[in-house]
Structures are given as structure tokens and as C-alpha cells.
A and B are shown apart, each in its own frame.
Chain A
């Protein structure tokens, strides 16, 4: 069965960077994009961007351009999302998600809580 397992919670200071991992299993990792979505506590869902694990191509929401980098290691079927220059507003639960085809996320990681606090 398809599974996405994310790394554990992180606490970071303002200005630091965080790198969240998402390990995929149960399917061919390079066959489907991995997308990242975040959710601040009590708030809605916010799409951050996508990565094609086969080519490494990426696309980011304008809001995160210049601060986010999505990468992968195909040898271990793992995707990464790194967010830099963290501020308190980046405190949120970060999810990786895999679509059925494009943008329709049938599979989600369990979420990684990133807390930004001085």
C-alpha cells in the first residue's frame, strides 16, 4: 500500500532553515509528483509547490519563491522540503502529498510540525 512517512517535529529560531523529509513506499517513487501543503494551527490548507522525482523539476508558489527548495534522493525514495529564513508565521504542520494524477492528493504524509520561536 502507498505510504508517505515524514520526519519528526522541529523547533527552529527565526532566521534558521528547516528540512523536512518524506519517505515514499508502496509504489514507484519516480512515477508521481510529490507536493507540499502546509496548515497553520486552526487555519486552512496552503499549497507550497511540487517536485517531479524523476526529473527533479520543481514549481513553487510565488509566496515561497526564494525561500523554499524541494529535492529528492531517488536511491531511498525520499523527498525533501527545505524552507529558509524562517519566521513565526511559518509555524505550521507541513504535509507531503501524492496525487492520483495531478493535484488530486489521494495520499498524504502524517504531517511534520515546524515551530518557529525565539
Chain B
């Protein structure tokens, strides 16, 4: 199975900050990498698919990038509604494994 390692596991930031979350795959997954946001009591929400494609309706302050097997989710200017848990997921080969999550908290 492909292992997805996310960092950091938690992050404190302020409204207006720029934040970056990284995800490393244990082997090549091309650009088959997706990012989700999950708020308490809610289903995950797809933010970015195929490493850098913005899902319809997602604000443009969210962006994704790839460098080899390293992937990054960036939020350019944090808004109050962005405080949540973020997961990466590879969809290169089954089982479609998720990272362990990054909890983004208000500083």
C-alpha cells in the first residue's frame, strides 16, 4: 500500500496568515493527489484534485502543488471558516490511502 505522510499534524495560525500543509507519498503517484477539508460533524469536502485543480466552488485562496512525491496545500490568507482538519489522499492505486490529517487551529 502507498503510505501518505502529512505534516504538520497540527498547526496554529491567525486570520490572514498564509499556511502550508505538506504530504509525501511513499512512492510515485504522478499527480493523483487530492486534498479535503473536514469540519466537526461533517463529511469531508473536496478542495483540490489532481494535485493542483481547484474543485468548483472552492475559494481561490486554496491552491495545490506537486514536486515529485511531495505535495503542498496552501491557503493564501486564512479566513475564520478555514479552521478545520485537512487530509491528503492518493488516488493512484487502490487502496486509496489518506494522510493522517492536519488540524488547523486558531492562534
Bound together, the chains give a CA A49 to CA B20 distance in angstroms of 30
Contact with A along B85-106 (1 / 0, CB 8 A): 0010111001111111100000
Known: A47-B98, A50-B94. A106 touches B46 (CB 8 A): yes
Bound together, the chains give a CA A45 to CA B90 distance in angstroms of 12
Give the interface SS of chain B, mostly helix, strand, loop or mixed: loop
Q: Is A84 an interface residue (CB 8 A)?
A: no
Known: A44-B100, A45-B89. A104 touches B49 (CB 8 A): yes
Chain A residues within 8 Å of chain B by Cβ, number: 24
Within 52-107 of B, Cβ neighbours of A (below 8 Å) are at 55, 87, 89-91, 94-101
A47, B100: Cβ atoms closer than 8 Å:
no
B44, A108: Cβ atoms closer than 8 Å:
yes
Bound together, the chains give a CA A84 to CA B59 distance in angstroms of 41
Within 43-95 of A, Cβ neighbours of B (below 8 Å) are at 44-47, 49-50, 59, 61-63, 95
Bound together, the chains give a CA A69 to CA B32 distance in angstroms of 26
Q: Is A10 an interface residue (CB 8 A)?
A: no
Q: Is B22 an interface residue (CB 8 A)?
A: no
A-chain residues with CB within 8 Å of residue B90 when the two chains form the complex: 103
Bound together, the chains give a CA A61 to CA B94 distance in angstroms of 7
B87, A102: Cβ atoms closer than 8 Å:
no
The smallest beta-carbon distance between B5 and chain A, in angstroms, is: 12
A-B contact pairs, 21 of them (CB 8 A): A35-B96, A44-B87, A44-B100, A44-B101, A45-B36, A45-B89, A45-B98, A47-B89, A47-B98, A50-B94, A59-B94, A61-B94, A62-B95, A63-B95, A102-B91, A103-B32, A103-B90, A103-B91, A104-B49, A104-B91, A106-B46
Q: Which 6 A-B pairs have the closest CB atoms?
A: A103-B91, A108-B43, A104-B49, A61-B95, A45-B98, A47-B96
